[in-house]
Amino acid sequence: MTKQGKARKKNKGPTPPKKISQAGRHETLFGFHSVFEALQAKKRKIHTVYLSDKRTGQRLDSIASLAQKNRIPIKECTPEQLSSMTDSKMHQGVAALADNLPVHSGMEIFDMLEQNPRPCFFLVLESIEDPHNLGALIRSGVCAGVCGNYTKKACGLWGLMPTEPIPCTMQI
């Protein structure tokens, strides 16, 4: 058994809440990439990481290891509990309760661009239903030099670039 495997089995803890509150200062991140990127970026406080007691593997072990390294509590729960907490069956066996990231107004993003010496462009996203697709678009955008994005959905990768949440692209 690896170190990560030992770290993963450690803290069963109490049963997680049926629904993680998104009101106010907290949001629920779910899916491997969203949780992993948020843990790596360290741009917001992660309160708890929830891992499925039915899934194992190197990817979830890497999340457990990162959480343990950053002294973030890890709780195991059933896939059904994760689905209930996240309102999705596409949680990939992992969720996290995290503080919201700061959002920027369009003018703040443009002010940041004026200070940037390289040419930039924006990613404008609307009607993205799958959080995994949203994450893939934002990660690809970062690699391509995107300086900011406008989107109406939240995801763990918001910390990679300035973001303005918008209800629809007609507002831009």
Same domain, 89 and 57: yes
- Asked if residue 44 and residue 125 are part of one domain, the reply reads no
pTM greater than 0.85: no
Nearest alpha carbon to residue 84 among 122, 43, 128, 52: 52
What is the overall mean pLDDT for the chain? 75
DSSP E strands, the chain: 26-30, 46-52, 74-77, 94-99, 121-124, 146-151, 163-165
* 136 and 94, same domain (yes or no): no
Domain membership of residue 28 as a residue range: 3-99
Summarised one tens digit per residue, pLDDT across range 48-100 is 999 999 877 899 999 999 999 999 999 999 999 999 998 888 899 999 999 88
| Closest of 123, 172, 127 to residue 153, by C-alpha | 127
Structural domains in the chain (count): 2
| Banded model confidence at residue 17, pLDDT cuts 50, 70, 90 | very low
**Domain endpoint, select from 48, 66, 99:** 99
Question: Is there a single domain that holds both residue 64 and residue 114?
Answer: no
Burial class (CB in 10 A: 0-12, 13-18, 19+), 71: exposed
State which of 77, 99, 121 marks the end of a domain: 99
- Both 39 and 90 in one domain: the answer is yes
Looking at 99, 129, 150, the residue that finishes a domain is 99
Q: Residue 121: its pLDDT value, please?
A: 74
Q: Which two tokens stand for residue 109?
A: 């993003």
Q: Which residues contact 129 (CB under 8 A, 6 or more apart)?
A: none
